[in-house]
A and B are shown apart, each in its own frame.
Chain A
Amino acid sequence: MNTALGAIRVKTKGPIESIHEKVLLDKSKKRDLDAFSKIVDAYQGRVLGFARRMLRDEDDALDLTQEVFLRAFQGIDGFDGRSSLRSWLFTIAHNLCVDKARKRARTPGQTSIETDPQTEDTIDFPDVRWDPADAAVKAELMIVLDKALDTMSEKLKSVLLLHDREDMGYEEISQTVDIPVGTVKSRLFLARAHLQRALGDYLNER
């Protein structure tokens, strides 16, 4: 999806190999901006995608992503390497999203993203076995998917995005979001059920 401001885009690179990542981290701890820029290159698109889907506001997501990398650079001495760099960056991003959500909840006229949809109490499980091979249908499906994500609570959405989009394991998500593994599974199941229902409704309409 084309979501960024301006006509020229920065190409997001793939994940960094762990050995290379360690070298970049060591250099970044010595305030090497070039080394830290490579880390930004590798993760900016993914962090932005997470923030955009969590906040549902393009400008807020762009600002928050900058804040994530600024905080990471300023606090890189405190990164002990027990978790992966990816987990650490997404922990910062998640915490900032939660803070932002709380501020929005306190601000009159703003919709909170923490509110759980009522639908969660009446979940059913439609069998949506459909192969979205056609590109046009796929693009349309992505719009439906984004809309469905918009109606999902922040706590379900964060787990869904970290697992299904960032390919994080249950343990890694547990550390990133600071919840038990069992809760990670529960939230993931409910989030997917929510999407299944939204996509099922869309497919039934077609």
Chain B
Amino acid sequence: MKGEGMDKRELIKKLVREEPLRVDESLWLDEALDSQGPVREWVGQAAADEPSLAWRSRLNQRLAASVPKPRHWRRRPWAPAIGFAGVAAGALFLATMNPIGKPSAAPELDSTSFEHKLVKAHHEAGLGENGRHWVPAEFEPVPDL
């Protein structure tokens, strides 16, 4: 074994105190570990431990208890009905409160824009001399005969 000149007692104290070792001390330790092979075999030969079935059964129960349980709809047949009712109520609420169908306000048009002129011309053409709306001749009121 290497490290014959080392103070073994001092080295053991270092090992017990878990102090860092020098390179030569580390080499000595590696060789010392190799020489302890028979002890390793003895420890390795120690019989295996086997728990009882009762122990295992208890463990299985504890493991099963720790798993989140799935939802059982079958046990609550009224649950889907409540769900459908909720969805229907929500749809009704949305249909009532939603402003679909309300006429939107006409956008303000710029007085110089083409669209404004078009609308103005349409209004002017549609008004009679007395300021009434123009109506086609066939719908004009027939004077009393």
| A residues adjacent to B (C-beta < 8 A) | 1-12, 31, 33, 36-37, 40, 44-46, 48-49, 52, 62, 65-66, 69-70, 73-74, 120-121, 123, 128-130, 132, 138, 141-142, 145-146, 160-161, 163-165, 167, 182-183, 185-190, 192-193, 195-196, 199
Known: A70-B62, A182-B20. A8 touches B52 (CB 8 A): yes
Contact with A along B66-82 (1 / 0, CB 8 A): 11100000000000000
B39 → chain A closest CB, angstroms: 4
A117 → chain B closest CB, angstroms: 11
B58 → chain A closest CB, angstroms: 7
Complex: A123 Cα to B12 Cα, angstroms: 8
Cβ B16 vs Cβ A165 within 8 A: no
Cβ B49 vs Cβ A69 within 8 A: no
Among A4, A7, A128, A161, the residue within 8 A (CB) of B43 is A161
Among A44, A66, A145, A193, the residue within 8 A (CB) of B46 is A145
Asked if B89 is at the interface of the complex by the 8 Å CB criterion, the answer is no
Known: A164-B39, A186-B29. A6 touches B52 (CB 8 A): yes
Complex: A44 Cα to B53 Cα, angstroms: 12
Cβ B48 vs Cβ A45 within 8 A: yes
- Residues of B within 8 Å of A12, CB to CB, are 48-50
Cβ A5 vs Cβ B55 within 8 A: yes
Among A2, A10, A167, the residue within 8 A (CB) of B53 is A10
Complex: A126 Cα to B63 Cα, angstroms: 48
Cβ A44 vs Cβ B51 within 8 A: yes
| B residues adjacent to A (C-beta < 8 A) | 12-13, 15-16, 18, 20-21, 26, 29-30, 32-33, 36, 38-40, 42-56, 58-60, 62-64, 66-68
Closest 9 CB pairs of A and B: A6-B52, A164-B43, A49-B49, A192-B36, A9-B50, A48-B49, A186-B15, A192-B39, A1-B47
Complex: A128 Cα to B64 Cα, angstroms: 49
Cβ B40 vs Cβ A164 within 8 A: yes
- Residues of B within 8 Å of A33, CB to CB, are 60, 63-64, 67
Among B15, B55, B68, the residue within 8 A (CB) of A189 is B15
Known: A142-B47, A165-B43, A189-B32. A69 touches B63 (CB 8 A): yes
B64 → chain A closest CB, angstroms: 6
B68 → chain A closest CB, angstroms: 7
Among A37, A129, A183, the residue within 8 A (CB) of B60 is A37
Which residue of chain B lies nearest to A74 when distances are taken between CB atoms in the complex? B66
B98 → chain A closest CB, angstroms: 42
- Residues of A within 8 Å of B13, CB to CB, are 121
- Residues of B within 8 Å of A74, CB to CB, are 66
A69 → chain B closest CB, angstroms: 6
- Residues of B within 8 Å of A45, CB to CB, are 48-51
Cβ A10 vs Cβ B46 within 8 A: no
Complex: A192 Cα to B63 Cα, angstroms: 38
A to B CB contacts below 8 Å, 19 in the list: A7-B52, A8-B53, A9-B50, A10-B52, A10-B53, A10-B56, A12-B50, A31-B68, A33-B64, A49-B49, A62-B55, A70-B59, A73-B63, A74-B66, A120-B16, A121-B12, A129-B38, A132-B45, A182-B20
